[in-house]
Amino acid sequence: MFPQIHIDQLGRELKLSALPKRIVCLVPSLTELLAYFELDQEVVGITKFCIYPEDWYKDKERVGGTKTIDIEKIRSLNVDLIIGNKEENTKEDIEALMQIAPVWMSDVNSIEDTYHLISSLSSIFNKEKLGAHLIQNLQSYFQLHAKEGAGKSVLYFIWHNPGFVAGKNTYIDSYLAALGYRNCVSVERYPDVNNIGKINPDVVFLSSEPFPFQENHVSHYQSLYPDAEIILVDGERYSWYGVRTLRC
């Protein structure tokens, strides 16, 4: 029954007068989730970083980057729901978009946040069965991979020069823990590794995104951490929450 009140992950109320029929998604991970929810006709706009599904990336209207949103293009699409993210989109863009249509904001810093997100969005789109099935599959995935890290300490780089790393209160940290790794970083978010003291990890992960670490970076980090195993890893696996977790 409508109207309906939904609470987003920032604790904000959204009032929907009907099932959304024209949706813009500004979050790559969530664009793939909306495709899983079979909303091909409803999603009318995505960002240039929403590369999955590939046919959506090729055919859907693009509304800029996650931090360079084309507000007027979104306005022209006559949307009735916009989906954003606290970390990926700017506060200024979101405030402007709230004048156009209801904006549901995600804020994912753990695996549990992912489950909450899937459940919440499945309720909005009347896709509860699909949402519950996805959550079950994700839980099974993490159970299957729970011993992959074997208790090794890990340092996860997301950027080179400066060397930003994944710390606590991030989805990456939660994902590493679920796989049995121990994050060397005890501070929150994404600190510069030079500001967190001496670290002697068992493993150093160099992520493929947002900085595109490649083979030529390995020797540099091996010199910094001579006792560690240096591994290039797929950033999508460790940071794209939801559907992509099962496809990496």
Domains of the chain: 4-107 (3.40.50.1980), 153-246 (3.40.50.1980)
pLDDT at 176: 98
Residue 25, pLDDT > 90, answer yes
pLDDT bucket at 98, cuts 50 / 70 / 90? very high
At 2, is the pLDDT very low, low, confident or very high (cuts 50, 70, 90)?
A: confident
* Count of CB atoms situated within 10 Å of the CB of 122: 21
pLDDT at 1 over 90: no
The predicted pLDDT at position 113 comes to: 98
Q: Residue 18's pLDDT band (boundaries 50, 70, 90)?
A: very high
pLDDT in tens, 209-229: 999 999 999 999 999 999 999
Compute the distance between CA of residue 119 and CA of residue 108 in angstroms, rounded to an integer: 13
pLDDT 10s digits, 103-125? 999 999 999 999 999 999 999 99
Dist CA 97 CA 197 (whole Å): 41
In this predicted structure, what is the pLDDT of residue 127?
98
Angle subtended at Cα 35 by Cα 5 and Cα 170, rounded to the nearest 5 degrees: 70
Mean of pLDDT over the chain:
97
Residue in the structure block whose two tokens are 């990456």: 172
Q: What does pTM read for this prediction?
A: 0.94
CA distance between the termini of the chain: 38
Interval 124-144: pLDDT, tens: 999 999 999 999 999 999 999
- Region 202-211: mean pLDDT is 97
Q: How many residues does the chain have?
A: 248
